[in-house]
């Protein structure tokens, strides 16, 4: 039960609209910047997308590792982690045209706006708000599904132990 309460709190923190970054934000930023380093030999779209790609891949890879080890309660936690990534990505996407968010780059220096570069190179910049909204909706849906899965696992555990 405490696990479900923590998950619910993280969900609330993520979607409360009060600007809370939550437990995952620092991890997400570090993973994002590491993703850029993995593809720094590339220019343009792939280099810009590297941060987001690793940001999405890390929780998905973690799910497979946890399932392989029989740690099923980690799956909804990783789902919530992925949802937080998608929610933060949607915020960054929505800023692609205005470019008002402060940017962080590895080692300081001038870095470009990833999603401005990606959307511009793909001809999707006029659709940044629509894509960002879709991504935010996906994040919310995944977070709800993670909470439901957590509740289901608790229910099954209680039923088996009875």
Find, among 146, 4, 155, 150, the residue nearest to 81 by Cα.
Answer: 146
Q: What pLDDT sits at residue 82?
A: 96
For the entire predicted model, the pTM comes to 0.89
Residue 58 tokens read as 């890390």
Question: For 1-28, what is the mean pLDDT?
Answer: 79
Q: Please give the share of the chain, as a percent, with pLDDT higher than 90.
A: 59
Find, among 90, 86, 39, the residue nearest to 59 by Cα.
Answer: 86
Find, among 44, 28, 15, 18, the residue nearest to 144 by Cα.
Answer: 15
In the chain, where the domains are located: 23-161
Question: For 76-95, what is the mean pLDDT?
Answer: 94
Distance (Å, rounded) from C-alpha 83 to C-alpha 139?
4
Q: What pLDDT sits at residue 31?
A: 92
């Amino acid at each position: 039960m405490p696990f479900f309460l923590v998950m619910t709190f993280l969900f609330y923190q993520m979607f409360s609209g009060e600007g809370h970054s939550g437990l995952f934000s620092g991890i997400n930023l570090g993973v994002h910047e590491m993703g850029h380093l993995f593809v720094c030999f590339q220019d343009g779209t792939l280099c810009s997308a590297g941060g987001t790609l690793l940001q999405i891949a890390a929780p998905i890879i973690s799910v497979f590792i946890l399932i392989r080890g029989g740690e099923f309660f980690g799956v909804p936690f990783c789902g919530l982690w992925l949802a937080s990534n998608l929610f933060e990505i949607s915020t960054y996407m929505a800023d692609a045209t205005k470019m008002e968010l402060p940017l962080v780059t590895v080692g300081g220096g001038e870095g470009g706006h990833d999603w401005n570069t990606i959307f511009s190179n793909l001809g999707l910049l006029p659709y940044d708000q629509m894509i960002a909204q879709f991504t935010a909706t996906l994040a919310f849906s995944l977070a709800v599904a993670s909470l439901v899965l957590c509740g289901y696992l608790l229910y099954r555990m209680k039923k088996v132990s009875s």
